[in-house]
Structures are given as structure tokens and as C-alpha cells.
Amino acid sequence: GAVVSQHPSRVICKSGTSVKIECRSLDFQATTMFWYRQFPKQSLMLMATSNEGSKATYEQGVEKDKFLINHASLTLSTLTVTSAHPEDSSFYICSAQLVAVNEQFFGPGTRLTVL
């Protein structure tokens, strides 16, 4: 149990386009999901907390108009990178909190390359 999926796993897009990444908790409901960003050979940095039915909360330095988050249901959160630029190229990972056991479970990640 406690499986989190992400789609797509890899995306290459042109500069200026928008990219949507989906994060789903497959076998549990998650009122809270998280979006992280990871640059090569670095640790994970929390970008935002996604709350079902309310606005996401963003970490300091993360542009909310750049990284749009929607948590429309208890099993789905989406991250849209708007008007992507090469500096947005990174590995994006989501996680979902399984409250019953106080653990976070992570999706397999999405590698975004902006040309």
C-alpha cells in the first residue's frame, strides 16, 4: 500500500510553454501533498504544500504564479510550470502524507527539460 504515482515521468518542452505534472495517491486519500524540486547531485527542496480544497502554501522564494498548484481531490494534485524557461529544468517530486502512520510517500518524479 501507500503508492504515489506521477505523470509524466519525463517531459521535454520548448521555452515559453506550460507543463502540467500530475501526482496521485493510488491507494489512500491525502489531504496534504507536497511538491519538491531536486537539482543534480543536490538534496530535495520543498517548493509548496498542496492542501485539498484550499490554496497551496509556497515556500519562500517560490513564485506562486510560476508554479501553479491545484489539489482538486483527495487523491490528485497537479503542478503546472507556466511559461517554462531553461532554468526551470529540474527533477520534480511529489509526496503525500499518510496521516495514519505519520509517513510521507513519494512519487517516482518527473524530469523536466526546457529547451
Partner 1 sequence: GIQVEQSPPDLILQEGANSTLRCNFSDSVNNLQWFHQNPWGQLINLFYIPSGTKQNGRLSATTVATERYSLLYISSSQTTDSGVYFCAHEATGTYKYIFGTGTRLKVLA
Residues making contact with partner 1 (CB under 8 A): 2, 32, 34, 36, 38, 41, 43-46, 49, 91, 93, 95, 97, 101-106, 108-109, 111
- 89 vs 74: CA distance, rounded Å: 28
Neighbours of 56 (CB within 10 A): 21
- 88 vs 73: CA distance, rounded Å: 26
Write down the least CB distance from residue 16 to partner 1, Å.
26
Write down the least CB distance from residue 60 to partner 1, Å.
10
Q: Where on the phi/psi map is residue 27: left (φ > 0), alpha (ψ -120 to 50), or beta?
A: alpha
Closer residue to partner 1 (CB): 63 or 103: 103
Closest CA to 49 of 29, 39, 64: 64
DSSP 66: T
Closer residue to partner 1 (CB): 2 or 68: 2
Write down the least CB distance from residue 28 to partner 1, Å.
14
Closer residue to partner 1 (CB): 13 or 91: 91
Closer residue to partner 1 (CB): 51 or 80: 51
Write down the least CB distance from residue 89 to partner 1, Å.
14
Amino acid at 36: Y
